[in-house]
Structure 1
Amino acid sequence: MSRIEQCKLIELPKISDPRGNLSFIEGGRHIPFEIKRVFYLYDVPTEEGRGAHAHRKLHQFLICLSGSFDVLLDDGEGKRSVHLNRPWKGLHIPPMIWASEVNFDPGSVCLVLASDFYKENDYIRDYEEFLRLAATK
């Protein structure tokens, strides 16, 4: 069972240049898993949220490429909020953490790196089911 203390902010390499900065990510080196899927969220209305689910086995790494948003984390016992607003810092979310992305600034872009391909049966979308599963781990 994962705990919210395992949700870590990770600073990525940042190469500064007068022409603009560059950051990069190498799976298994900068983040603690190999990357199998990449997706991104954008044009999220400020009053809307995304996520609001947990994964049974999947690890995720969230990066705010532009703008800012908050990630609400819940392990069934404790809760924590993390503000993302820098493209060279990301948040690792291990399995069995309920996560919601909220408070999107207009124009925000959230990049998500995932440890596996999309598998609907890995998602826990019902919060009460998540709490039951978290209590048994």
Structure 2
Amino acid sequence: MAALTILPLSATPYLLQFAPVGSDAIGYIASTQYARDIPFGIRRVFWTYGTPQQVLRGQHANKATEEVLVALTGRITVETDTGRGTETFVLDSPTKGVYIPAMCWTTLHLAEGTVGLCLASTDFDEADYIRDYEVFKRMVTHLAM
């Protein structure tokens, strides 16, 4: 297995818009084909569903993985922390996504019935995950020096 490269702390989370194609009469398609802003090649796609409303998802950062998160149905409130600032995004339409850079702590609040889709820049590797917030803060402080 290749060693992980921790990406620099220059990127920040931001909202993406996916242009819908279609009409009320036939329905819509929203696709990354129309989103020229995804700043990485997509290596992995996964989705979350059936999350009880009181359960927080995320609660980690990735050392190297970049992600785009979309609420296909329902609503996801995404809290981000880059160590340089925090921001909250609300995903309540399949035409909106949020770019989550590497080294960004995220906490996800999913409304009941939400299906969330994640596009990721890497394959799953447990070594990529930082699951302790205090460790994340120390790493971000060290990388910023």
Q: 1:107 corresponds to which residue?
A: 113
Q: 2:82 corresponds to which residue?
A: 75
Q: Is residue 19–residue 35 contact of structure 2 (8 Å, CA) maintained in 1? A: no
Greater C-alpha Rg: 2
Give ranges in structure 1 of 5+ residues lacking alignment: none
Give ranges in structure 2 of 5+ residues lacking alignment: 1-7
TM-score normalized with structure 2 length: 0.87
SS in 2 for 1:110: strand
State the Cα distance separating 1:27 from its structure 2 match.
Answer: 9.8
Of the three residues 88, 94, 118, the one matched with 2:101 is 94
Q: 1:8 corresponds to which residue?
A: 14
Query: Alpha carbons of 1:59 and 1:8: their partners in 2 closer, same or farther (altered >3 Å)?
Result: same
Identity across matched positions, percent:
35
Deviations 1:84-131 (A, max 9, x none): 1010110000000000101x2211111000001001111111111100
State the Cα distance separating 1:81 from its structure 2 match.
Answer: 1.2
Q: Distance in 2 between matches of 1:132 and 1:27?
A: 38
Query: Alpha carbons of 1:122 and 1:26: their partners in 2 closer, same or farther (altered >3 Å)?
Result: farther
Query: Alpha carbons of 1:109 and 1:28: their partners in 2 closer, same or farther (altered >3 Å)?
Result: closer
Q: Distance in 2 between matches of 1:77 and 1:12?
A: 27
SS in 1 for 2:64: coil
TM-score normalized with structure 1 length: 0.91
- CA RMSD, aligned part only? 1.8
Q: Is residue 60–residue 106 contact of structure 2 (8 Å, CA) maintained in 1? A: yes
Q: Does 1:122 align with 2:128?
A: yes
Deviations 1:51-97 (A, max 9, x none): 10001111000000001020110112422211110101100000000
Q: Distance in 1 between matches of 2:33 and 2:64?
A: 20
Q: Is residue 18–residue 35 contact of structure 2 (8 Å, CA) maintained in 1? A: no
Q: Distance in 1 between matches of 2:34 and 2:40?
A: 6
Count of residues paired in the alignment = 135
Post-superposition, which runs of at least 4 consecutive aligned residues in structure 1 deviate over 3 A?
Answer: 26-30
Query: Alpha carbons of 1:27 and 1:61: their partners in 2 closer, same or farther (altered >3 Å)?
Result: farther
Q: 1:57 corresponds to which residue?
A: 64
